[in-house]
C-alpha cells in the first residue's frame, strides 16, 4: 500500500498525515491507533527490490 505525502516530505514539528498501513504480521495499523503511545516507524525496501 503506497502513499505519497507530497514533495516536501515531513519536517520537524510538522504533524504526520493520517495513514493506515500493513504491519509486520499482515494486520493493519493507523496513526489513530498509535495516538498517545510511543512507537517507532521504520521504512525499508523489501528483499530483492531496488532501493
What is the structure's pLDDT at 21? 87
pLDDT in tens, 4-40: 555 566 778 888 888 898 888 899 999 999 889 998 8
What is the structure's pLDDT at 27? 93
pLDDT exceeds cutoff 60 at 48: yes
What is the structure's pLDDT at 5? 52
CA 50 to chain centre: 19
What is the structure's pLDDT at 13? 83
pLDDT exceeds cutoff 60 at 1: no
Which residue, 51, 28, 48, 29, is CA-closest to 39? 29
pTM: 0.51
Beta-carbon-side half-sphere exposure of residue 10 (alpha carbons within 13 Å): 9
Q: Which residues of 11-45 are buried (b: 16+ CB within 10 A; e: fewer)?
A: eeeeeeeeeeeeeeeeeebeeeeeeeeeeeeeeee
**Annotated domain spans of the chain:** 15-51
Amino acid at each position: 500500500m503506497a502513499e505519497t505525502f507530497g514533495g516536501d516530505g515531513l519536517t520537524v514539528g510538522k504533524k504526520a498525515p493520517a495513514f493506515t498501513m500493513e504491519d509486520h504480521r499482515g494486520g493493519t495499523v493507523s496513526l489513530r491507533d498509535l495516538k498517545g503511545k510511543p512507537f517507532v516507524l521504520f521504512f525499508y525496501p523489501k528483499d530483492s527490490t531496488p532501493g
